[in-house]
Amino acid sequence: MKRRTGSTGTVLMNILVWSGGLLMLLPFLWMASSSFKTTEEIFRPATFMPKNLDVSNYIRLFSDWPFTRWVLNSLAVALLTTALALAITSLAGYAFAKYRFKGRGRLFAILLSSTMIPFPILVVPLFVITSRMGLTNTVISLVLPFIAPPIGIFLMNQYAAYVPNALLDSAKIDGAGEFRIFFQIALPIMKPGLASLGIITFINSWNSFLWPLIAIRKELAMTLPIGMANMLTGVSAGSTPPYGPAMAASTLVCLPTVVLFLAVQKYYIKGLTAGAVKQ
């Protein structure tokens, strides 16, 4: 009876999970199918799948707008932001966890308190600083404000705290330098946290809208979210917005994040569940 009850519960749980997953996938499937429809067919009721696979929306997307340039801009911003954020936060988190220096506790408290400041409040001073430095309409202006997120430093500090001090002391006795200890001993242990933070940082940078909307004005310097918004709002009065190409753009925009998650999902899940299972 216990085995039957357990197997029945497992089946019901699987059905529930699969049903929830399919329900969440429906909007994305509708978006992907709509990218092969005409505008009239998109708004026609009870038409989930296109009658004919029409790729004209994708052709228009690359011919009528600088979509390739938007992709390259977004990719450059997301990769640079993620790489620099991982480098800086891992070093800072490790320093807070393993070094004792004057004012360490107060500095860490100030760092954590800065996470309570809403980003829209920082937009005006950030714009003033970047404009005075002559960085507007550049990739640097989109990267610099996000290379040292406080929440990332806190996350790396928590993972660095799990690095055994005895292991670090043994490496020092053997003559290893600080950077060698960090890269060869501490960093591999912090890998799940790096994967989690890397995915979050990449997705946030890839989908960022508010700051690029303010910092970027030139069409060729736009990132994907701003370019896609410009596609729908930049039409002349009385014209129909290009919903088909917008659906095609949205479908292509989702692909890099899906590929990234599939590539590092093992470390991401391990990072999220760290500490939940007793070793």
pLDDT tens for the chain, residues 1 to 279: 545 555 777 888 888 888 888 888 888 888 889 889 888 888 877 677 887 788 899 999 999 899 999 999 999 999 999 999 999 999 999 999 998 888 888 999 999 898 888 998 999 999 999 999 988 888 899 999 999 999 999 999 988 988 888 889 888 888 888 889 999 889 988 888 898 899 889 999 999 999 999 999 888 889 999 998 888 886 666 677 888 899 999 999 988 888 887 777 776 666 555 544 444
Chain-centre distance for alpha carbon 50: 31
Residue 211 lies in a domain: yes
Closest CA to 31 of 244, 262, 211, 240: 244
Question: What are the angstrom distances between the C-alpha of 1 and each of 7, 9, 11, 15, 28?
Answer: 10, 12, 15, 21, 41
Residue 5 lies in a domain: no
pLDDT number for residue 275: 47
pLDDT number for residue 2: 47
Residue 119 tokens, joined = 């980003």
Residue 208 lies in a domain: yes
How many other C-beta atoms lie within 10 A of the C-beta of residue 1? Answer: 5
- At residue 4, the 3 state secondary structure works out as helix
Residue 225 lies in domain:
31-272
Residue 14 lies in a domain: no
For residue 224, what are the contacts with CB-CB under 8 A and spacing of at least 6? Answer: 70, 71, 73, 74, 206, 249, 253
Task: Find the CATH number of the domain harbouring 251.
Answer: 1.10.3720.10
Which own/partner pairs from 127-132 qualify as long-range (CB within 8 Å, at least 24 positions apart)? 127/214, 127/215, 130/215
Amino acid at 85: A
pLDDT number for residue 240: 78
Closest CA to 194 of 164, 167, 166, 157: 157
Residue 145 lies in a domain: yes
pLDDT number for residue 241: 82
Residue 76 lies in a domain: yes
Question: What are the angstrom distances between the C-alpha of 222 and each of 65, 164, 227, 254?
Answer: 11, 45, 6, 17
Amino acid at 277: V
Closest CA to 241 of 60, 70, 67: 60
Q: What is the DSSP letter of 134?
A: T
Residue 117 lies in a domain: yes
Residue 208 tokens, joined = 């960022």
Return the axis-axis angle of helices 56-64 and 67-98, rounded to nearest 10°.
80
Question: What's the number of domains the chain is made of?
Answer: 1
pLDDT number for residue 67: 93
How many other C-beta atoms lie within 10 A of the C-beta of residue 97? Answer: 19
